């Protein structure tokens, strides 16, 4: 296990280098010269020269790429082009709200969608299965913006059950109890239907395997077959799906953060895009890529914990 983890960590080095090279090419060659964007209508040569000097764009491309590699290795991404504040410090302050929102939402999704998917798979082909499938299909056809706008209008504005928006930087408990419940409810409504159908498909697929028929032939009850054998095997693709979504916990739920005024990474990314703040966008892109590689490694380790027959090579 330890040798496998070390080998995978070494394999991440060229992958990360490729990500940095791709990001550098996209933002420096394909994206054009950001000094023209930041200068706005002030296209005087001295203004452009000063902006390029401040951003390090007066250096050659190899020097700029080496500087970018140094920033990634030291986690010091310089200052924001828009606010002139430290990118690293700004993102560090935004990670907490995003993780609090999306981490809580992920736990609620698993605790809600997985039991419903198991119950629907248990009654597969029956009326219950068809009704739930129909409801999920209708719910998936509604835009997430509709859920957010309608929920915010009725539950927060009309009924005054929740605050319309807000965030307290000094009280995580107040955020969890006061400001997060409505975004979590609406986020759960958006994600519940696709997750139920997604998890159900894996469970139903496992129910059609030969080992299930063998277990039933031995006289095992349907509940034992479902929970002891089928669910364990179905967890592997479910873990894969969950682990693939974990890197985006850093970004948070961008629409929820924007509509409810949550100062998370997703909101920061949207503001960076609005202001053409390439330094912040590059930093977030690299951090998400690094998180994706680490969570993929974690998924492999969890596979073996779920099913000892999985060999890590």
Q: pLDDT for 75-85, tens place per residue?
A: 888 778 777 78
For the chain, what is the domain count? 2
Residue 75 region, left (φ>0) first, then alpha (ψ -120 to 50), else beta?
Answer: left
Least confident window among 171-180, 183-192, 217-226, 240-249: 240-249
CA distance 224 to 13: 44
Kindly state the average pLDDT of the residues 99-103: 86
What pLDDT, on a 0 to 100 scale, did the predictor assign at position 303? 73
CA distance 92 to 250: 10
Kindly state the average pLDDT of the residues 92-107: 87
Report whether pLDDT(124) > 60: yes
169: buried, middle or exposed (CB in 10 Å: 19+, 13-18, 0-12)? exposed
CA distance 3 to 233: 26
What pLDDT, on a 0 to 100 scale, did the predictor assign at position 93? 87
pLDDT greater at residue 298 or residue 303: 298
Least confident window among 42-56, 71-85, 86-100, 284-298: 42-56
* Tokens standing for residue 190: 């958006």
Do 227 and 278 sit in the same domain of this protein?
Answer: yes
Percent over 90 (pLDDT), the chain? 4
- At 150, give phi and psi (nearest 5°): -65, -45
Cβ distance 164 to 157 under 8 Å? yes
What pLDDT, on a 0 to 100 scale, did the predictor assign at position 51? 66
- At 86, give phi and psi (nearest 5°): -60, 125
Kindly state the average pLDDT of the residues 301-313: 66
Do 137 and 9 sit in the same domain of this protein?
Answer: no
Do 252 and 300 sit in the same domain of this protein?
Answer: yes
Q: Is residue 152 part of a domain?
A: no
CA distance 57 to 149: 42
Average pLDDT of the residues of the chain: 81
pLDDT greater at residue 256 or residue 252: 256
C-alpha Rg value of the chain to the nearest Å: 24
Q: Is residue 234 part of a domain?
A: yes
Q: Is residue 87 part of a domain?
A: no
pLDDT greater at residue 30 or residue 14: 14
Question: Which residue range forms the structural domain that includes residue 53?
Answer: 2-74
Report whether pLDDT(234) > 60: yes
DSSP letters spanning 293-304: HHHHHHHHHHHH
User: What number of residues does the chain have?
Assistant: 313
Report whether pLDDT(290) > 80: yes
pTM listed for this prediction: 0.79
Q: Is residue 258 part of a domain?
A: yes
CA distance 187 to 216: 39
Q: Is residue 287 part of a domain?
A: yes
Kindly state the average pLDDT of the residues 95-113: 87
What pLDDT, on a 0 to 100 scale, did the predictor assign at position 30? 60
CA distance 13 to 11: 5
Residue 165 region, left (φ>0) first, then alpha (ψ -120 to 50), else beta?
Answer: beta
Do 7 and 124 sit in the same domain of this protein?
Answer: no
């Amino acid at each position: 296990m330890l040798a496998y983890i070390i080998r995978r960590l070494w394999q991440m080095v060229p992958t990360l280098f490729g990500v940095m090279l791709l990001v550098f090419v996209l933002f420096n060659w394909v994206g054009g010269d950001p000094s023209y964007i930041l200068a706005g209508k002030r296209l005087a040569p001295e203004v452009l020269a000063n902006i390029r000097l401040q951003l390090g764009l007066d250096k050659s491309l190899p020097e700029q790429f080496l500087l970018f590699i140094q920033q990634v290795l030291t986690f010091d991404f310089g200052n924001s082009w828009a606010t002139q504040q430290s990118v690293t410090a700004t993102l560090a302050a935004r990670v907490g709200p995003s993780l609090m929102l999306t981490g809580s939402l992920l736990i609620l999704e698993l605790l809600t969608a997985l039991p419903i998917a198991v119950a629907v798979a248990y009654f597969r082909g029956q009326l219950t299965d068809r009704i739930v499938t129909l409801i999920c299909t209708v719910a998936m056809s509604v835009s997430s913006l509709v859920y957010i706008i309608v929920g915010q209008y009725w539950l927060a504005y009309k009924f005054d059950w929740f605050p319309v928006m807000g965030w307290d930087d000094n009280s995580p408990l107040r955020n969890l109890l006061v400001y997060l419940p409505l975004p979590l409810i609406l986020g759960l409504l958006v994600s519940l239907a696709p997750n139920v159908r997604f998890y159900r498909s894996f469970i139903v697929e496992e129910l059609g395997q030969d080992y299930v028929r063998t277990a039933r032939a031995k006289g095992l009850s349907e509940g034992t077959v479902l929970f002891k054998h089928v669910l364990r095997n179905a967890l592997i693709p479910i873990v894969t799906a969950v682990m693939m979504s974990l890197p985006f916990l850093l970004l948070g739920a961008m629409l929820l953060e924007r509509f409810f005024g949550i100062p998370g990474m997703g909101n920061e990314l949207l503001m960076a895009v609005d202001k053409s703040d390439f330094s912040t966008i590059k930093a977030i892109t690299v951090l998400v890529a690094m998180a994706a590689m680490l969570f993929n490694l974690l998924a492999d380790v969890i596979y073996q914990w779920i099913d000892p027959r999985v060999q890590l090579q």
